[in-house]
Amino acid sequence: MAFEDLISEVENRGRFQILQMFSLVIPLIFMSSHFLLENFTAFVPNHRCRIPFLDNTSTLLNVSENLNFSSLLKLSIPLDSNGKLERCLRFSWPQWLPLSPNVTGQSQSLLETEPCVDGWVYDQSVITSSIVTEWDLVCDSQSLRSLSPSIFLSGILVGYLIWGYLTDRFGRKQMMPPSFIMVVVSSIGPAFTQTFPVYCCLRFLLGFSISGAMFSSGTLVIEWTTIQHRPLMAVIIGLCSSAGHLLNGVLAYGIQEWRKFQLIVSAPFLTFFLTIWWLPESARWLIVHKKYDDALRVLRKVAKLNGVKDLNLTIETLRSTAEEKLIASKAHYNMLDLFRFPVLKTRILCLSFEGFTTAMLFYGLSLDIQNLGSNIQMLQILMGASTLVSRFVSVFIMNCFGRQTIVVACLLLGGLSILASAFLPQGILRIVLIILGISCGMVCRSCKIVYSNELLPTVVRSMSYGFILIIDRIGAILAPLVNILKHYIPVLPQIIFGIIAVTASLVIFFFLPETQNQPMPDTIQDIQHGSSKGETRPRDKDDATVKISQF
């Protein structure tokens, strides 16, 4: 009896699967909100140098009443090329000359200036406080603001590498309590930290622990779900991620202080930690590790929850299932084998580049939405809603037009829209183009889940996808760092994102085949027998012996 047959034996009404889904995907909404949390907790408001004799109320009372505050600021702060107050410079001493209407930017540049030695004054009309205003992450320290999201995403990458091994070694459920308690501590901790280095350490730990919670819970859900319901479960998980992004925008309308915001989106993890204990271990994992008594016990528990009274399963049945699984996995491959076969190597590298590109597009654009306009709350809601719709629509258009066609078209359209937006001023059209680019990237990420499974053979699918996921995370880590370049050339990050997206579309078009209505390859030999473009050949029933061959 196969694993799928065991699950079907205990699934009647599916009550357990529904309860399990609510227990695990609702926490996913709040975990996903932390990925883009720093759009608000690290918001960069308008700022200028602090001028002690102006920003001290008692001193202002002694200034002549015929000078308004704006004019007084021009005594101490020069104007930039747009006629606005400089953010990071001030005059070395007050200048009366700038009050003259004949003063030009060139004549101001001749006056002696200095950095903001007395600190900064921040505009509190949008967000009252953030880590930027608390630790002055502006001017010479502005790159630290972009470094913080990269540190969080680095924790995600390290977590995938470590938690993947731990969940395979000790079990899916066994790793959930420690990962969830780490999420509780590392998500609530930043709300009370007093220094930026400690904040960054906690963000790294949060990324590490979130990857463990998502990895263990996601694997547990998938392994308790039958084949026909797995696509639906994948869609639900994706929609929950987008809902988390949407949640940030909604909460930001009522919470404008960063410590409170951090606490509000983190406190629910305490409840989630208390609600995961009832979940049973994966029967698949227990059987593979020859824990037949425990597997039979959890199968009976699930059957009871689902209303199945007559469960005809014995330890001998479970033992035979494990033996069948052992025979089916007779051929073993390591990471180096992934690059020994030309067609397989091409597919892995192309999918890795696509994952790298879409991750860079999504995080590079979505973590920089405050440059699109002042109403960051509405922009976050629009972005969250667009990604939610994109994930939902991708399921239908992928089946109508094919996997390769959708990926190529979305990468090309997204890249061109991002390139076009780079040369537009702030406005509705620029917002539309950026949202379109993010949506196209999200459609590609949704299609990649199906496309990768249909391109990669069963015998190395998990290993190959693990490598692709690592490259994907590297793209996510680099995205906030690329945004630092906007401080030198404002349009450079979007030009880089656009060019990479267009290049990726061409790579997918020329080097990867369409897989719609093609059988999934089981062995490396299945894809080696395709055409020069690597097309998967349909297999006859007599081809079943290939599954246990050396290749």
- Asked if residue 214 and residue 312 are part of one domain, the reply reads yes
* Residue 531: per-residue pLDDT: 39
Are both 426 and 519 inside the same structural domain? yes
| Mean pLDDT value of segment 70-77 | 77
Split at pLDDT 50, 70, 90, the class of 182 is very high
For residue 271, which of 200, 166, 201, 187 has the smallest C-alpha distance? 187
pLDDT for the residue 92: 77
Least confident among 54-63, 101-110, 161-170, 467-476:
101-110
Number of domains in the chain: 3
Segment 365-380 shows an average pLDDT of 88
Task: Say if residue 242 is in the same domain as residue 347.
Answer: no
Percent of the chain with pLDDT over 70: 84
Say how far apart CA 438 and CA 457 lie, in whole Å: 30
272: pLDDT strictly greater than 90: no
Contacts of 95 (CB under 8 A, 6+ apart): 75, 76, 111
Is residue 133 assigned to a domain?
Answer: no
Residues 313 and 456 in one domain: no
Region of poorest pLDDT, from 16-25, 284-293, 315-324: 315-324
**Helices 428-455, 492-511: inter-axial angle, 10-degree rounding:** 30
Let me know if residue 463 belongs to a domain. yes
Question: Do 537 and 408 share a domain, yes or no?
Answer: yes
| Rounded mean pLDDT, 140-147 | 88
Single residue among 303, 330, 357 that ends a domain in this structure: 330
Q: Check whether 381 has a pLDDT greater than 50.
A: yes
Q: Give me the mean pLDDT over the 223-237 stretch.
A: 75
Same domain, 282 and 405: no
Instruction: Select from 176, 172, 356 the least CA-distant residue to 282.
Output: 172
pLDDT tier for residue 321 given thresholds of 50, 70 and 90: low
Question: Of 70-84, 199-213, 348-362, 402-416, which range is least confident?
Answer: 70-84
* pLDDT classification of 430: cutoffs 50, 70, 90: very high
- Domain harbouring 459, CATH code: 1.20.1250.20
Beta-bridge mates of residue 176:
none
How far apart CA 142 and CA 135 sit, in angstroms, is: 11
One-character DSSP codes across 107-176: HHHTS-EE--TT-EEE--SS-SB-HHHHHT--GGGTHHHHHHHHHHHHHHHHHHHHHHHHHHHH-HHHHH
Q: Which residue has the tokens 């990420």?
A: 445
Return the pLDDT at 291: 84
Classify 466 as helix, strand or coil. helix
Phi, psi angle pair for 34, to nearest 5°: -75, -20
Higher pLDDT, 290 or 435: 435
pLDDT at residue 246 greater than cutoff 60: yes
Domain that holds residue 297: 1-34+138-330
Whether 546 has a pLDDT exceeding 50, the answer reads no
Exposure string for 29-38, b = 16+ CB within 10 A, e = fewer: bbbbbbbbbb
Of 71-80, 310-319, 444-453, which one has max mean pLDDT? Answer: 444-453
Look at residue 503 and tell me whether its pLDDT is greater than 60. Answer: yes
Confidence of residue 95 (pLDDT cuts 50, 70, 90): low
Least confident of 257-266, 451-460, 499-508, 527-536: 527-536
**How does pLDDT run across 207-228, given as a tens digit for each residue?**
999 998 988 888 888 778 776 7
Q: How many residues does the chain have?
A: 551
Contact 398, 388 (CB under 8 A): no
Q: Output 505 or 371, whichever has higher pLDDT.
A: 505
pTM: 0.84
Cα separation of 1 and 321, whole Å? 5
Q: What are the tokens at 204?
A: 């790294």
Q: Is residue 257 part of a domain?
A: yes
Three-state secondary-structure class, residue 473 = helix
Question: Do 434 and 501 belong to one domain?
Answer: yes
* Residue 64 pLDDT class (50, 70, 90 cuts): very low
State how far the Cα of 74 lies from the Cα of 94, in Å rounded to an integer.
9
Q: Which whole number is the average pLDDT over 487-509?
A: 94
DSSP 295-309: HHHHHHHHHHHTT--
Quick one: 181 and 213 in the same domain?
A: yes
What residue spans of 51-126 are helical by DSSP H?
52-55, 57-60, 69-76, 105-109
Same domain for 102 and 18 = no
- pLDDT value of position 302: 83
| In a domain? residue 42 | no
Residues sharing a CB contact under 8 Å with residue 142, sequence separation 6 or more, in sequence order:
44, 487
Q: Does residue 368 share a domain with residue 300? A: no
Mean pLDDT of the chain: 82
- pLDDT: which is higher, 172 or 545: 172
Which parts of 171-257 fold into alpha helices (H)? 172-188, 196-223, 230-252
The verdict on 109 and 80 lying in the same domain is yes
Q: Is residue 387 part of a domain?
A: yes
- Please tell me the predicted confidence (pLDDT) of residue 540: 42
pLDDT of residue 66: 45
pLDDT in tens, 79-94: 887 778 888 888 877 6
Q: What are phi and psi for residue 483, nearest 5 degrees?
A: -65, -20
